[in-house]
Structure 1
Amino acid sequence: MSDGPRLPGVDEADEEDRIVCHVDADCFYASCERLREPELRDEPLVVGMGYEAGATNGAVATASYEAREFGVESAQAISTALERLPRRAAFENGEIDESDLDRGETGYYRPVDMDYYESVAADVREILHDCADVVREVSIDEAYLDVTDRTAWGVADGFARHIRDRIRREVGVTVSVGVAPTMSTAKIASDFDKPDGLTVVEPGEIREFLAPLEVELLHGVGPVTARELREMGLETAGDVAETDPEPLVERFGERGRELFDRARGEDDRRVEPKGDPKSFSRESAFADPVEDPTPKYELIETLAAAVADRARREGALYRTIGVKAVTPPYDVNTRERSLPGPVDDPDLVDRIARDLFTEFETDPVRKLGVRVANLEFAAADQASLDGWERDASGTGTGADEGETEESDPGANPVRDDRTAGQSSLADFS
């Protein structure tokens, strides 16, 4: 792979040069719950809806690997999950006869907390965007990265390991990473060695890697399609790759041709972001919780400069500036202030971020973040900020907690959106 810049048209000609990472969190919701409750580590843990006392309806959102050993699966009816893995709390409270089962045959249950999971996902996404120029976020716990311009095939395994280890070290959750020249193969590779896995499929190795895999492991093949493929005598990806594609097209339509191509490792899709980003943020954690205000404000200055610089490099203006302060054990606090119009002003980002953080300056803080949001990418001359800065230095209008931004920019010149405790960070990403 050339070390210099790519010439127009070269990307299409050198498909095998592409290096795609698929990053997939392992039992993400369960990992998040263990992050704030470390005593749940290595215990059977189920996260879902309908676990409240007396509830009978609901479904499993995530089952830890320990819980799966008891037959608990994602999307399983809550009643079935409870039969296979009774609540640990019920056992310890004497609601379950100890003669019927021992403590190790029970597990922990936590209700879904999407606001909290989104806050953790935002931390992961920040690392992904720092490690790759092109990121396609598929879901809260899954993303594709094109790292072609960041590394080379000879050291791609080390680069992927760096991403995986950095997420574990800085965020505290585990992910599995698959690396391949195509998106579909990278997706399969990330599932190959879970949890905390790393599988690299280099150019020229795709067919050999895919051939022995059962058909349901092919990207996009569910139970129904797998059963139909087996009815056609196709048990493995290698069988699909070596068959006549016409019967596949007759049975599955154009999707049959796609199955044939994917089984052969042929996938020309590019990693493309899903539209423009909604915000930019930078975060950094302290080795230990810090109480002294000085290092905290120094870090805010650094993060504010980095966020403003990225927005300028991306050609983005912003209408909202925010900070995040994570206090022990893992309480996420966010503060935001909205401006009457889009700006590009690094000094303003720094000043507002500092002002928003003042209520936490003496609290122990383990992580800090600065964010700009409500982005606009249209090319336009920047308006004067003199009047806006006078507004930004005021106290706002005292909007209610959780209020959304007014559609009329002049109706609410400056506002703090305050959400304490386990707050939603859906926009802090």
Structure 2
Amino acid sequence: MDAARLPGTSGPEQIVAHVDMDCFYAACEQRREPALRNEPLVVGMGYENGATHGAVATASYEARAYGVESAMAISEALERLPRKVEAVADPDLTVEDAGFYRPVDMDFYESVAADVREILHTEADVVREVSIDEAYLDVTERVSWKTVRSWAQDLKDTIESAVGVVASVGVAPTMSAAKVASDRDKPDGLVVVEPGAVREFFDDLPVEDVHGVGPVTARELAALDIETAGDLAAADPELLAEHFGERGREIRRYARGEDERSVTPKGDPKSLSRESAFTDATTDIEAKCRQVRTLADAVADRAERKGARYQTIGIKVVTPPFDVNTRARSLPGPVEEPELVRRIALDLLGEFADDPVRKVGVRVSNLDFSAGEQANLDGFGGDNGSEEASGSSRTSSTPAAADELDDDGQVGLGTFVANDGDTEAVEDTAGEGTDASETHISLPPGQTTLAEF
């Protein structure tokens, strides 16, 4: 007899697991320094020991109790949670209400993630690695719905005992439901949503829990009196399309438990990016520049670790109410120049120096993964200055980006565009497609290296 088919799916019923590591960066640091377990711990991007610059990449659950949040400036985090070493020396501070700070160490986190991935590939026939700390697994041929909970618990136990970090696992018949399920009972969660129960599972969840819906979209939906996943599932698809385009229909299908996607491995991404939202729209140019510098460094670092050179560098700026503006510049050839990423990103940001800004992002695209040498820029010089074009959109007609954080509150996994299988992405991101705002750079006469840019 043929396998049962779910409404809205094109293939036989599948069993999908979404594995999401809990506070992964912090968990890695706690594995390296066991004394940090159960302590308030902050991991910072662009942070150095003893310094006050940088931004929070992730915070342990103990640190979050003090109001420390991902993407927060380290200086603000320190106001809420002083460093333990300073609290010991300062009689005005309480040692019990202080924490530990560590800089991001991506090489170490990658090594730990590799150990986790090895386990995942052993336990599933098909694995889609979404980011350093999460993946989808198709285990349809490995387990049944009667045995999948036991399998998932064994997977969690294996990861914790063999690698020393904790994973939350969600299991469902669709990718979107599995992702929501993995976040439902964090930390150390295990939620199984069986066929026929997906719609009921979603009904009472806040609408922002639906895959593809972040804070910005949730606020727009609330203005339409859509506050729960059940409301979204019952909403008029034409109304959603009017406000959100085809993506409105898509998130409605997810809320109804309908998801035609199958788990497929990822190829090389077409772009890499990071983005970060401010708590409130800000006109503070120093805050905007600091955020862009941190994001630019993170993007360049990720490109280096992936062995990717880039030919286009761009930014995204979201201004009130929800206007999405993109700017980009293209180079004569693919390069690996971290300082250039920062300089171009800051230069492009200058256009928005006086504007209130909700969110900023940095992106590199037109990626080259070949092992050849970096492009020789001799002969690319020109006398003409580059003229910048611009692109902007409103969330009423374009899927608006919302949150730079993953479901575990860890910064750094977001990207500019919706996941098309070729671009590293998370939900509720703007699908800008090609860069209408690209401009091409001609190097000034006599300039032969991008380091001079």
Q: Which residue of 2 aligns with 1:35?
A: 31
- The whole-number CA distance in structure 2 between the counterparts of 1:194 and 1:169 is 18
Look up the match of 2:187. Answer: 195
**What is the aligned counterpart of 1:79 among 57, 75, 82?**
75
Aligned letter for 1:27? C
**2:237 equivalent in structure 1:** 245
Structure 1 residue 101, shift from structure 2 partner: 3.7
Q: Indicate whether 1:135 and 2:127 are aligned.
A: yes
SS across alignment from 1:122: helix
Tell me the CA shift for residue 55 of structure 1.
3.5
**1-side partners of 2:50 and 2:10: how far apart?**
61
Letter in 2 for 1:262: Y
1:385-413 CA distances to partner (integer Å, 9 max, x unpaired)? Answer: xxxxxxxxxxxxxxxxxxxx9869xxxxx
Q: What is residue 422 of structure 2 aligned with on the other side?
A: none
1:168 alignment partner AA: E
Which one-letter code corresponds to 2:237 in the other structure?
Answer: P
Q: Deviations over 1:131-179 (max 9, x none)?
A: 0010000000000000000000111111111111110011010000000
Structure 2 equivalent of residue 375 of structure 1:
none
Match for residue 183 of structure 1 among 159, 175, 187: 175
CA contact (8 A) 1:160 1:198 kept: yes
Q: How does 1:350-361 map to 2 (within 5 A)?
A: none
Change in 2 beyond 3 A, CA 1:102/1:13: same
Q: How far apart, in 2, do the equivalents of 1:64 and 1:45 lie? A: 5
Say yes or no: does 1:146 pair with 2:138.
yes
Which residue of the partner structure matches residue 162 of structure 2?
170
1:24-423 paired onto structure 2 within 5 Å: 24-52=20-48, 55-92=51-88, 94=89, 96-97=90-91, 100-275=92-267
Per-residue CA deviations over 1:47-76 (Å, capped at 9, x if unaligned) read 013443663431101100000000111111
Helix, strand or coil at the partner of 1:224: helix
Q: What is the deviation of 1:102?
A: 2.0
Structure 1 length-normalised TM: 0.60
How far does the alpha carbon of each residue in 1:75-110 deviate from its partner, in whole angstroms, 9 at most, with x for none?
111111111111011112x1x33xx34222100011
- Any unmatched runs of 5+ in structure 2? 4-8, 269-369, 374-453
- CA change 1:244–1:36 in 2 (3 A) is same
Contact kept, 8 Å, 1:19 with 1:148, in 2: the verdict is yes
Residue 62 of structure 1: SS of its match in structure 2?
A: strand
Could you say what secondary structure the match of 2:129 adopts? strand
Amino acid at match of 2:243: R
- The letter for the 1-side match of 2:144 is A
Q: Sort the Cα spacing of 1:407 and 1:241 in 2 relative to 1 into closer, same or farther, 3 A.
A: closer
Give yes or no for contact 2:152–2:190 (8 Å, CA) kept in 1.
Answer: yes
Contact 1:185–1:206 (CA under 8 A) maintained in structure 2? yes
State the AA in 1 paired with 2:224: M
Cα distance in 1 for partners of 2:252, 2:33 equals: 45
Mapped partners of 2:255, 2:237: distance in 1: 11
**Given the superposition, is the C-alpha separation of residues 226 and 406 from structure 1 closer, same or farther in structure 2, using an over 3 Å criterion?**
closer
Confirm or deny: 8 A CA contact 1:134 1:145 kept in the other structure. Answer: yes
Distance 2:67 2:171 in 1: 30
Higher Cα Rg, which structure: 1
In 2: Cα distance, 1:13 partner to 1:115 partner: 40
Letter of the structure 2 residue corresponding to residue 46 of structure 1: V
How much does 1:260 deviate?
0.8
Distance 1:136 1:252 in 2: 28
Supply the distance in 2 between the matched residues of 1:223 and 1:406 (Cα, whole angstroms).
40
The answer to whether the 8 Å contact 1:240/1:263 transfers is yes
Tell me if structure 2 keeps the 8 A contact 1:50–1:56. no
Query: 2-side partners of 1:212 and 1:63: how far apart?
Result: 28
**CA distance in structure 2 between the partners assigned to 1:159 and 1:196 by the alignment:** 15
Q: What SS class does the counterpart of residue 136 from structure 1 fall into? A: strand
